[in-house]
A and B are shown apart, each in its own frame.
Chain A
Amino acid sequence: MKHEPVGVRFMLLQQVTNGLLLGGIYALVALSFSLTIGILNFLNFSIPALFMLGGVVSCALLAKGFGIGLAVLVALVVTGFVSLVIERFTFRWLKNSDSHIPLVSSLGFLILFENLVLIYFGSDAVGYPSPFGGASVRVEHMLISLPRLASFAISLVLIVACYLVITRTKLGRGLRSIAESSIVSEMLGVDVGRTVSGMYLISGLLAGMGGVLFGISYLQVSWDMGSEVALKGISAMVLGGMGNIWGALLGALIIAVVEVLTISYVSSEAVNVVVYSVLLVLILVMPNGLLGDRAILVERM
């Protein structure tokens, strides 16, 4: 793009668009983190592993010649199932323990899955055999990648769906009551075990879908693809407000745009300085984030 005589404005517009499209995937990861923090006050470090599994499993199936629909379906079944297994080890069987314990267990799962994938896939990034390839359209002077645009749209739909589940369904009502107080909601007849399982399932599917969309959009997966995206997701979640669904989306879009603009106007090494400085300052100055934390989960009780 730089060599085309379209002027600085279009390059800026192009980069902002690229950033926004990347932000959709960050938003899924941020929301996945945000749900477990908002409801259980637990930073689930196995989310990067679920993200990675989503990408790697679908990639392996595509490479074996299966269709994209089946590959995505199997990837989501795997991440959903793994997330439910993780729920057993980080919540159900651990009741009444110190708050660090689930976090450490989830780290154990991260180490476990990353290394399992490392054994089977090797340490190099693998090309993602997406049937859509790198198709793109030209709008005005901008080049827009179609898979990324579609991924962004799917992310938005999933976030809205998640919002509706939390605010409109019985499961969501149960989750919001657990966010308020797990003990009281159990006394009032909420099946805490099943409700929390539902939340792990949602959070696992969001992360897994994020991984699939990442593969389709950027045509590469690797065993450590989750960690970097997860750190951005955590930053996005804090920026928007922990436990706040729209906050995760807003934060993710801002973080992704800042990241892409920093890469193109400063340098790729400066990205982490900027993103994490923003995060550090925010958490010290306005820990509730831009939209307020846990607001949507607790406010409508």
Chain B
Amino acid sequence: MSGYATQIAAILIVNIVAAYAAYMPLACGQLNLGTAGFMAIGGYASAVLSAHGLGLLVSILGGAAAATVAGLLVSIPVLRARGIYLTIATLAFSEVIAAILLNVDSLGGASGLVVNDHIGVGPMLVAMTIVLIVVAWFSRTRFGLCLTAVRNDGRGTAVFGVSVRRVEVSALTIGAGFAGVAGAIYAHQFNYLEAQHFNVLLSTYAVLFALLGGLQTPLGPLIGALVFTLVPELLRSTDQWRYVGFGVCIILLMLLRPEGLLTRQLIHRLPRWKTA
């Protein structure tokens, strides 16, 4: 693969994993705008571990674990807040993490942190596949069913004896873990971390990928991240206009296909087209 193709593939993989990080809480109806914060925790934790001489795999797992723990610690108090409050709380959390990292000189501060170990696109693909398999497996379990049920009708689900709070905490925590993986592979691919990179825009894009792809199926975020990473890249010659196009796409898509690109209905209709 050429340098350019490798770069695009790496960005795409990070975006896909980040999209799943945003997807997990969204699947049970919570809008988490803190994905960037959890990615930062994963990235920096993994960088510190590998700087202490640990192997690549252990570092990445450590980064994911750090983000998961952070997710659990955050979700328990944060989930007392609901709806719009939850969104703002996660946003604030993410900003606090980025702002703290910017001020800690031992982690590079404003000048950034150089990361040791390098990860190729191959192992990144493996990490992404594992995330995908985990999500696909969840969607077939009782937990996956609970996620959808809570998203559609939280109170109704509670009536059937499901602990809504436990489902929500788990979803946010698992999502944070995925964000940790995304941050860690990002750190080792680009070998450089900058606190400013982990801003609201990054969280926003992760959420957009998941919502534009669609929440109804576990493949939605993959499609969303794929389309909305590659299409702007193909339109690169048009420079800034591609972002204008991106904005227009978002608005029109929300108007015409509010359930996202890939819906269950679409999947049901696919075989019929083939036979017809």
Binding site for B on A (CB under 8 A): 37, 41-43, 89, 93-94, 97-105, 107-113, 115-116, 118-119, 227, 231, 234-235, 238, 242, 269-273, 276-277, 279-280, 283-284, 287
- Additional A-B contact list (12), CB under 8 Å, known A41-B84, A283-B92: A89-B255, A100-B26, A105-B251, A107-B250, A110-B247, A111-B250, A115-B247, A234-B88, A269-B110, A280-B92, A283-B89, A284-B81
In whole angstroms, what is the CA distance A102 to B98 when docked?
27
Closest beta carbon of chain B to A48's beta carbon, Å: 10
Size category of the binding interface on chain B:
35 or more
Please name all residues of chain A whose beta carbon is closer than 8 Å to the beta carbon of B77 when the two chains form the complex.
284
Majority SS of interface residues in chain B?
A: helix
Question: In the complex, how many residue pairs between chain A and chain B have their CB atoms under 8 Å apart?
Answer: 121
A112 and chain B: residue at smallest CB distance: B247
Q: For the complex, what is the distance from the CA of A74 to the CA of B158, rounded to whole Å?
A: 52
Contact flags B248-270 to A (C-beta < 8 A → 1, else 0): 11110011001100000000000
Residue contact A101 to B254, C-beta cutoff 8 Å: yes
Interfacial chain A residues near B207, Cβ < 8 Å = 104
User: DSSP majority for the A interface?
Assistant: helix
Q: How far is the CB of B90 from chain A (nearest CB, A)?
A: 9
**Can you list 24 pairs linking A and B with CB atoms under 8 Å apart?**
A100-B31, A102-B254, A103-B87, A104-B208, A105-B251, A107-B208, A108-B249, A108-B250, A108-B251, A109-B251, A111-B244, A115-B247, A118-B240, A234-B91, A269-B103, A270-B99, A272-B99, A272-B102, A273-B99, A273-B103, A279-B92, A284-B89, A287-B80, A287-B81
Instruction: Give Cα distance in the complex from A283 to B255, angstroms.
Output: 31
Partner of B95, one of A100, A116, A231, A270: A231
Within 8 A of A (CB), among B116-163: none
Q: For the complex, give the distance between the alpha carbons of A41 and B86 in Å.
A: 13
Cβ-defined partner of B84 (8 Å) among A37, A98, A231, A277:
A37
- In chain B, residues 179-206, which have Cβ atoms closer than 8 Å to a Cβ of chain A? 200, 204
Find out whether the CB atom of A283 lies under 8 angstroms from the CB atom of B85: yes
Instruction: Enumerate chain B residues within 8 angstroms of A238, measured Cβ to Cβ.
Output: 85, 88
- What is the chain A residue whose CB lies nearest that of B204? A107
Shortest distance in angstroms between B261's beta carbon and chain A's nearest beta carbon?
13
Q: Would A277 and B258 count as touching, CB distance under 8 A? A: no
**Candidate in B80, B250, B259 with the most chain A CB atoms within 10 angstroms:** B250
A89 touching B251 in the complex, CB below 8 Å, given contacts A284-B77, A287-B85: yes
How near does chain B come to A182, taking the closest CB pair, in angstroms?
Answer: 16
The distance from the CB of A294 to the nearest CB of chain B, in whole angstroms, is 11
Interface string of B82-114 (1 = CB under 8 A from A): 011101110111011011101100000010000
